[in-house]
Amino acid sequence: MSRRSEFFARPEGIPMRRYEALRAYEHEGASIEEAAEIGGYTPGSFRNLLTSFRKNRSAHFFWPESTKVSPIDRPPNPRPARILALRREENRSIQEIQAILKQEGIPASLGYIQKIFKQHRIPRLARRSANERSPRVIPADRTKLDLSERTFSTDFAGLFLFAFDLAQMDLKNMLEQVKMPGAKRVPAVCAMLSLLALKLYGIGRPSQIMAESLDEGLALFTGLNAIPKCTALTEYSILADPAFAGPLMHRWDHAAANIANVVGRGNSIDLDFHTIPCHGDHALVEKHFVSNRSRRQRGILTVLARDADLNIFCYADPAVRKETRNDAVLAFVRDWEARTGTVPEELVFDSRFTVYANLAALNQMGIPFITLRRCHTSLIQRIHSLDKSAWTNVRLGNTGRRYRTLGVVDETIHLRDYPHPIRQLLIRNSGDDRPMVLITNQMKRDPGELIDRYARRMVRENVISDAINFFHMDALSSVVPMRINVDVQLTVMASVLYRLLGTRVGKPYADAGERTIFRDLVKRPGKVTITKDEIVVQFRARANDNYLIAAGYPELRQKVPWLGHKILRMQFGKRP
């Protein structure tokens, strides 16, 4: 074979191999095996090639037309020139340049911008002072609130579900009446809404709001152009006069009662102490027992009252000291009577909440109570020594209990500092190794009902603990970043708002806890559209939308005073 024919006898390159193999089979009559050997294919691969060729019998099968655009026809890339101008003329940082390019519709990655800098040998910026840097966060200012016609996305669309009730309760006028502090840039209603938004959305520490400071929906809910930063929120809680709590809560309960009967009616109230831990070393902070840590440590002792029927916090007092803790129950009764005009119908608390003398005071005021009695050694020995005939079997009506049949001794005794006879129930077979002793001034009530009511309080402690965790009452660092009296009152207010929402929606959320309502109904993103007269919150379609739609939220219309009296309404996405 000569050198001249070697090029054609041994084809190289995909187009030439295809051509020679197909020509040998189609034109010269070679077999599939022979044609495949000429092109360097296997017989199976050649059959696939032959099928493709018969669908496109043209020269373009071997040499496809090029669709590549010539460099002359390409439009010029505006990004390099814009990047260089922003650095050289405005001295912008790489992050600022990226944000500006995204706003201008020519986005670029940080790596691309850095590549342009290297090509033009542009050095890194020297460290700049705070005055030289452009601000990354926007200071909160009511006067700069933008209510112009626009649409934006937000992660806090669910917060606007509470805006209907807040507007009906006239929170702005309420705060003016109790003379809450405020300023022109951040009025009292905007400051309180900012703090309340943290509670409603489960944001524990004020410092965690910094991550959400640029969300327009969160800022709009508070009536500001941006949410105040953690320092401003902490300082505001310090400026608030501790005396504001009583007058504010009286007005708050009255306003909530006008919307729905969700404030504590006082039919049966659970009282308990809760220690808010303090991790600093402050001389004025006393040591108290912290139940979830099973130890004593420095903290703020707080009295919490929760309505057993409505499952809401109806009272909180963080100003309890060791010398006044025994009288906390009387302070609650006085506050409740000032708010409602009547005393509570029933109080339930544990053995360490108060002393026998205060039980006598409750009995004199005509307030029924149920409490545990401390089991000292002689009392336990007496219980174990009782004859079997002294015990009566009582079957509880709560079908969810494992131990429903209890042994009970119902008797009347006399206590020190309690001038009248008092009823005592000795209880065994309750699932605890030690017997339980209840004392009450309800002399004629069925013992099964008394035991079942106190048992529900013990279950209610878990509900209270979950609510405390959700509202982050324990989220304190150092001494006190947010004043305790403000924090606990916000917890009570947030609890009422969640109960208003649950009551409006109905079953199964009428009795649900705050965490459940937040997860299913409140924690959701959406779009906010501001028009000339309205603020429309558009929710994405979710499985639980049926509950909100059935509750009438799409038909609700409410003017919001702190948002220019624009009308707030909701829209729900259509399911596919």
Q: Rounded mean pLDDT of the chain?
A: 81
- Residue 522 corresponds to which tokens in the numbers above? 């409140």
Domains of the chain by residue range: 3-61
More confident residue, 575 or 213: 213
Phi–psi pair at 71, nearest 5 degrees: -55, -30
pTM over 0.75: no
- 453-494 pLDDT, tens digit per residue, is 888 776 655 556 666 666 665 554 333 345 777 777 888 888
pLDDT in tens, 305-355: 888 777 777 788 877 888 888 898 999 999 888 888 888 889 999 888 889
DSSP3 helix / strand / coil % (the chain, rounded to 5): 45, 15, 40
CA 526, distance to chain mean position in Å, is: 16
The average pLDDT across 52-80 equals 74
Give CA separation, 406 vs 42, 351, 413, 436, in Å: 86, 21, 21, 11
Q: How far apart are CA 159 and CA 140, in angstroms?
A: 19
DSSP string, 516-541: HHIIIIIS--EEEEE-SSEEEEEEPP
Are the C-beta atoms of residues 336 and 330 closer than 8 Å to each other? no
- Give the residue from 547, 497, 538, 508 showing the smallest Cα distance to 198: 497
Order the strands of the 566-572 sheet from edge to edge. Answer: 150-154, 526-530, 534-539, 566-572, 558-560
